[in-house]
Structures are given as C-alpha cells and as structure tokens.
Amino acid sequence: MAVGKSVIRLDSKEKVTGRALYVEDIYMTGMLYAKVFRSPVAHGIIKNLDISEALKIKGVKGIFTAKDIPGKNIIHVILDDQPFLAKEKVMYPGHPIAVVAAITPEACEKALKTIKVEIEELPAIIDFEQSKNNSVKLFENNNVFCSFKIRKGDFDKKYDSNDYVTVEETFYTQHQEHAYIEPQGAIVYWEDDTLTIRGSMQAPFYVQRAVSEVLNLQYSRVRVIQQTTGGAFGGKEDVPSLVCAQAAICAYHLRVPVRIVYDREEDMQTMSKRHPSRVKIKLTADKTGKFVHVYGDYLENAGAYSTLTPAVLYRGTVHLPGPYKIDNIYVDAEAVATNTVPNGAYRGFGSPQVIFAMESAVDMLAEKLGMDPVEIRGKNLVDYGDTNSTGQILNDSVGMKEVYNKVVEKADYFNWKKQIEEFNSKSEYIKKGLGVSTLYYGVGLGAAGKSMSRCASMVKIDADGSVTASVGVTEMGQGLRTVTAQMVAEFLGIDIDKVVVSQIDTSRISDTGPTVASRGTITAGWGVLSALAKIKKSLHKFLEKKYNTSFEDVYFKDGKVKFGNNELEYSELIKMATDEKIHLHETGLHVPPDTTFDKETGLGDAYYAYAWAMNILETEVNKLTGEVTLKKAVCGHDVGKAINPREVAGQIMGGSLQGLGYGLMEDMQVSSKGKIITSNFSTYTIPTSCDIPEFIPVIVESNYSKGPYGAKGFGEQPLMGMAPALTNSIYNAVGARVKQIPATPERVQESMKNIDF
C-alpha cells in the first residue's frame, strides 16, 4: 500500500543536500544577465525614453523596450489589460519599461542607472476605497475590474423584529507577501530552434501562452520547463509569465541564453500580493442562534492591472458566507484599480479576507446571543444534503460535522476553556484566549476557471518495471511529486522507489491548467490513473492472448499481478510484455466534473468538491504591550483521503502558520506614492520558528467518491481561517476586537482603548 502511507517527500533529500537545481544554479556558456528598468512613479505618461547611452556601456548586449516586441504587448492572464512593457503609460511604481541584457549583473545595474526616462506624472489612486468613480480613470468601467454577487433565497428580507439578532461590522485586510524562499527567476535559451524557458513557476502553460503571444511564436516553439521551485503560494501563478517574458525577449533577439533572477527587494516591490480588502458583514440569527441571513460587501484592491482578480474575487464571493446553512444571502463583490502593484493569487485566493470578516462576525453574534463560539458554529454548520452559499447541494464528501466533532474532542475544548479561565483569573497582565474558526474551501478551479480544468498525464513503464510519470501540475514544495508517485505505485502495486515523477515540461504534457486552487493532488491523480488504466488494459489483453483465455480483471498488489487463478511477479510481467513489444507508454486526459455559475444570482455548482476545516487557537496577550504569543492550535481538515498523512500534517502546520503571520504580523506598508516600503524581511516580518505554536493537526477523511483514492485537495485551507481564529482569541483574551489585520501590538492596544483594565 503506497496510498495513505507517510512517505518522506521525494524531493526533500536533494533540497536538503543542496543538489536541487534552482534557476540560479544554472549557468550556461555565453549566458547574459537580465534586469528590468522600471517606472519610478505610480502614474504617468512616458514622454521620452533614451537608452542610447546605456547601450554604450561595456558588457551591455541589448536593451529592449515595447518597440522590440514582435508579438502582442500583453501579458495574457484573464482580461488582457496588462502590457508586457509600458509604452505610453506607467501605472504603478516599478512598472516594467525596458529589459537590459548584459554580460554581468553589474553592467545591467549600470545600464539601469543610465537609461533616461521622462515621465509626466499624473494624479494617482492609492487608496482603493477612493477608486470607484474617481475622476482619475485607470480602467474603463469606472475603475471596477469586475464584480460578482450572490442572491440566494429571500435575500432582501429585513430582520428588524426582536426575534432576530444582528451584527454589522466592517473589516480591513492588508497586502500579504508570498515570501517564497526563492525569488522569481528564469533562464531562457534556444535549443533545437525552440525557445526554452526554465523557470520557477506554478503554471508552465500560462508562461507558454504568454511568451508565445509576446514573441509571436507558435506554442510548440516555446518550451517551458518548471525548474525546481522554491515556494510559490500563488505568487508564481501568473507572475512568472511576466518574468519569463523579460528574459525571453532578450534571448529571442540576442539568441544567447539569458538569465533573470530578481533580488528580494525587486521581488517584494513589484510582484503580486494578496488583495487588500474591505469587507462589510451584516449577519443575522434568530434567538436560538440559527443564522438566517448574511449580507456581505467585499471590496478588493486589485492594483494597477486585473491579472487574476476576476477569479480571486469569484472565490471570495462564493466563500464569504462560510460553511453554514444560511437560506438567505446577499453578497456584492467588486475589485477596483489603484496605482499600486497588481495583486494576484495567494493561498486562499480571495477567501481569507472574507473568512476573517465572517468568522469575526460569527463570534460577535455568539457573544450577543450569549453563546459559546463553538456552540454557535455547531448549530449552523452544513451537513450532507444541505446547500452551500451558491445553492449547490452538498452530497459528496461533506466532512464539516466530522471535522467539528473531532476537533472539539481532540482539543477537549470545554476543559481547555476552563483551564484558560483559571489561568486568566490568576494572571493580571498576561491573558489567554481561545479563538475559533470554521470554514470550507471549494476545491479546484471552480466555475470561473473551468475552461482550464483538465488533468493530463503521461506514464511510461520501462523494461525493468520502473515507471516515469509526468503530470501537468507542478511541485513547488507542497509534495505533489510524492503523492503522484504514491498513487502510481498504489495502482501498480509496486514500491514507490520504482516511480519517477518527471519535471513538468510543456513539450511532453498537454495543457493541464495551473497548479493552484488546491487541485494538485486530485489533478495529478486523475491524470495518472487515466493513463494507467490504458496500460492496464494493454497488459490485460496481452495476458489473455498469452494464456489464451479471458480474465475478468487484472490485479496489481505487493509486486504481484493476479489474474484468474494465475499470479506473476510484476517485474516478470513487464519484462514479458516489453519483450513482446506491448506498448507501456500512454498519455491520459481526465476532465473533472462540471461546475456552473449564474452571473445574475451567483448560484450554481461552484466547485466540484469542498474541503472543510475548523481551527481552535490559544494565544496569550500582553495587556500592557498588546503583544500576542501563539500558544497552541488544533487544526482539523477534511481532505477526502490523506494520500500522505505526514504531508497533510505538514501542509496544516505550514499553512496555518502562514495564516497566523497574515493575521498577526505581516504588515506591508505602501507609501502615499504607492510604493511598497516594507520590501525585505527586516521590515516585513513573517513568522519564524520562534513564533510557531504547538500544532495539533486533525485529519478527517470523508471519501470523495469521484476523487483519486477518495482524495480531494485542501492545500490552501490551512491558511484561510487562522486570522479570525487569532483575532477571536485576542478578543477572548482581552476583549479587544481587531477589525483590521495584522493584529500588531499597536492595533491590539488601540482596540483595547475602551476596555477598562
């Protein structure tokens, strides 16, 4: 049995020993370095651009501007509003204007300082709440990139009578930086008359299409290989298209290898972030605590271009009402333009913002009703047969209640609560608190991204029985290769060591869409199982011919193959079949279950499956300083099937900590000129090993009948509910309701102001 086993991640050894090849480890003969010349201002018109002096600098081999683009000056994502290089206008500080290629990074830097640009500055929009209908027009539709809504049930009904209790509040969230260990980078070179790109990325097929369009090359002439990728978290979904195109335009014109690697500052200042937001919530329950209505108003700051915003906003819209039975829902969501860095994908994808707001509101409502936060949630959580926020009937793998029960039990919640009360009664300034959140996650691309929802693969069995499997989804540290190998090994009944999961390469695998939306495991699984089914069929046929009889099925287990009353060693069968030239190399394509979406009501089957989660967090708050210490977190997640429980636990811990960083300390500051001023880890602090609370991961497996081995996917979910668990725990500890994250000591103090202590 390979599935369900806590196999050590296959890529861990080469990463730990330093053998893994990252982009910066690749040097090619004759290689040039590329760097980007960027706008110093947030908004303006380029009056003149003079590269002539810069071109004379020793070692500079080329400087490329919008004029040098052989194809479209567009980086394709969704709305196609983002130019590859600014031509007339600059839209945010750091907006790329030109790319320099030179024999040393130093020559590049010198060129950047020598390029002369005259920009007529225009008034800029920095505050996103001031964007819509602003006299400054950044996007044609009154600066609104996109909007979504949900109108479910009696969505307009008023609940003014005394039979109902309502809370209404506005919440704010900030930019969040992905803080991947490895910054953006790519090396681009010609090989076999094909432009070959090796980059750090989540979505090679995005890069292939974007670069093809910029350079006017056919898709097959742009070969994209995902290089070992040092973290991504959404930050390498769409952005690498831009980064790779920057190196690519140099390699295209100069016909030599070109490498681009951002330094941390450039990366933090110019790469996408989580969308800052304002979320207004009005949540109404009856006297028993049953939620009857939720109103939500979600405003996202998209930055200068829309990039992935439509998809991000869609997910936020669907996820706003949370994992609760609520018959009547009214949600409006809009994303607006500002002259700041374009925001994009980030683990959770528009949902942590609304979950922070909604889960805060749930706690506020519980308090108003005199209920325990756990109790009120238990009363409202969905179960099999219920509908979710978009009216989708939940009938497969609905583990919410099971997660709830297990987490409450594992946490020994009521005892824990008692212990904390006891502690607080004895401690004057240091107070403990418990914070709770429940949430769900729509797995996969959903109705907004379903056109990309494909699961391609290639599986090849060599003569010695060892296997090479290729899938269209990427490993970026989340363990994708390991679970893929486990699923292949499980199917063939062989040891996982026999399976190599190859590097993703657009020339060997067909478009599988991006590796996002917690779809890695399920996409890889569906993919390889579809190719393996073909191989199994060939072997079945081969055995029937060989034995001159028919067999109902062929079973692979423990290195053996059983059919009828016969048994063969797996390796013996493969050797025989290879010798007889049976084809053991197949491609597969699985198309996931359909999803639907009605633009007018927001109703439909938004995602093919949902993951479910509950977190209980204990913190300690210093009433004098406002400092919060993370103590212990019980985090429960329904994943359908844990293909690798150890990795599921790892995802829970890593993701939860990332969510705690978001809630507690990651405080990105944007200047009044739109520039990110916290552009390295000395000013933008993220949790370190010192900050980690005791994590108690709780894994729930409510089999997803359509998933590979019952798995669905949940990689983003651990992050998503931690900010409200944190702020709820702070409130629980010291009565301070933090409505704007991160909950820095200053904000906690501020929130405590009207509390008497």
When the beta carbons of 292 and 452 are compared against a copy of itself, the nearer one is 452
Using the minimum distance from each CB to a copy of itself, give the nearer residue, 433 or 588.
588
Instruction: Determine whether 468 is exposed, middle or buried from the number of CB atoms within 10 Å of its CB (0-12, 13-18, 19+).
Output: middle
- Choose, by CB under 8 A, the member of 162, 451, 565, 672 that binds a copy of itself: 451
- The β-bridge partners of 475 are none
Contact between 619 and 729 (Cβ < 8 Å): yes
Q: Which is nearer to a copy of itself, 456 or 725 (CB)?
A: 456
Q: Interface with a copy of itself includes 458 (CB under 8 A)?
A: yes
What minimum distance in Å lies between the beta carbon of 440 and a copy of itself? 27
**Residue span 30-69 as binding mask against a copy of itself, x where in contact by CB under 8 A, dash where not:** x---------------------------------------
Residue 498 makes contact with a copy of itself by CB under 8 A: yes
β pairing state of 694-700 and 628-638: parallel
Dist CA 35 CA 64 (whole Å)? 11
Write the CA distances from 357 to 16, 108, 314, 653, integer angstroms.
Answer: 39, 45, 16, 22
Distance CA 161, CA 651 (A): 45
Q: Looking at 169-177, 385-393, 462-470, 678-686, which segment touches a copy of itself (CB under 8 A)?
A: 462-470
- Check binding of 460 to a copy of itself (CB under 8 A): yes
Measure the CA–CA gap between 690 and 390, rounded to whole angstroms.
Answer: 41
Q: 507 or 629: whose CB is closer to a copy of itself? A: 507
219 is a site residue for a copy of itself (CB under 8 A) = yes
Residue 662's alpha-carbon distances to 346, 420, 720, in angstroms, are 11, 25, 10
Give the residue with the Cβ less far from a copy of itself, 400 or 532.
Answer: 532
The pattern of x and - marking residues 248 through 287 that bind a copy of itself according to CB under 8 A reads: -------xx-------------------------------
The amino acid at residue 35 is K
Q: Does 220 bind a copy of itself (CB under 8 A)?
A: yes
Query: Which residue, 359 or 586, has its beta carbon nearer to a copy of itself?
Result: 586
748: left (phi over 0), alpha (psi -120 to 50) or beta: alpha
For 370, counting Cβ atoms within 10 Å of its Cβ (0-12 exposed, 13-18 middle, 19+ buried), the class is: exposed
Q: How far is the C-alpha of 741 from the C-alpha of 367, rounded, in Å?
A: 21
134-193: contacts with a copy of itself (CB under 8 A):
189-193
Q: How far is the CB of 472 from a copy of itself (least distance, A)?
A: 10
Residue 471 found at the interface with a copy of itself (CB under 8 A): no
- Using rule CB under 8 A, residue 481 touches a copy of itself: yes
Distance, CA of 232 to CA of 203 (rounded, Å) = 10
How far apart are the C-alpha atoms of 746 and 277, rounded to whole Å? 20
> Are the CB atoms for 674 and 338 separated by under 8 Å?
yes
Least distance between a copy of itself and beta carbon 357 (Å): 36
Residue 78 CB, nearest distance to a copy of itself (Å)?
16
Contact segment (CB under 8 A) with a copy of itself among 19-27, 121-129, 609-617, 707-715 equals: 19-27
Residue 630 CA to residue 652 CA, distance in Å, equals: 16
E-state strands within 215-276: 222-226, 258-261
Smaller CB distance to a copy of itself: residue 531 or 652?
Answer: 531
Per-residue tokens: 757: 């202590």
Question: Which residues make beta-bridge pairs with 614?
Answer: 438, 636
Q: How far is the CB of 707 from a copy of itself (least distance, A)?
A: 19
Q: Does 132 bind a copy of itself (CB under 8 A)?
A: no
* Helix intervals (H) in 500-595: 520-547, 570-579
Which residue carries 């507690």 as its tokens? 664
Q: Could you tell me the smallest distance in angstroms from the CB atom of residue 207 to a copy of itself? A: 13
Q: Judged by CB under 8 A, does residue 509 bind a copy of itself?
A: yes
Binding to a copy of itself, residues 576-605 (CB under 8 A): 578-579, 581, 583-587, 589, 591
Could you tell me which of 120, 102, 115, 106 has the C-alpha nearest to residue 41?
A: 120
Which region, left, alpha or beta, applies to residue 465 given φ > 0 means left and ψ of -120 to 50 means alpha?
Answer: left
Is there a contact between 728 and 437 (Cβ–Cβ < 8 Å)? yes
Among 507, 601, 622, 685, binds a copy of itself (CB under 8 A): 507
Between 345 and 456, CB nearer to a copy of itself: 456
- Which residues face 46 on adjacent strands? 119
CA distance 185 to 442: 30
By CB under 8 A, is residue 198 in contact with a copy of itself?
A: no
Q: Which of 397, 470, 521, 732 binds a copy of itself (CB under 8 A)?
A: 470
CA-to-CA distance for 560 and 670, rounded, in angstroms? 61
According to CB under 8 A, which one of 8, 25, 45, 181 is a site residue for a copy of itself? 25
Q: How far is the CB of 220 from a copy of itself (least distance, A)?
A: 4
Within residues 293-332, the interface with a copy of itself by CB under 8 A covers none
Is residue 499 at the binding interface for a copy of itself, with CB under 8 A as the rule? yes
Residue span binding a copy of itself (CB under 8 A) among the ranges 54-62, 278-286, 457-465, 610-618 = 457-465
Site of interaction with a copy of itself (CB under 8 A) = 10-11, 13-14, 17, 19, 21, 25-30, 189-194, 208-209, 212, 218-221, 223, 228, 255-256, 451, 454, 456, 458, 460, 462-464, 466-468, 470, 481, 497-503, 505, 507-511, 578-579, 581, 583-587, 589, 591
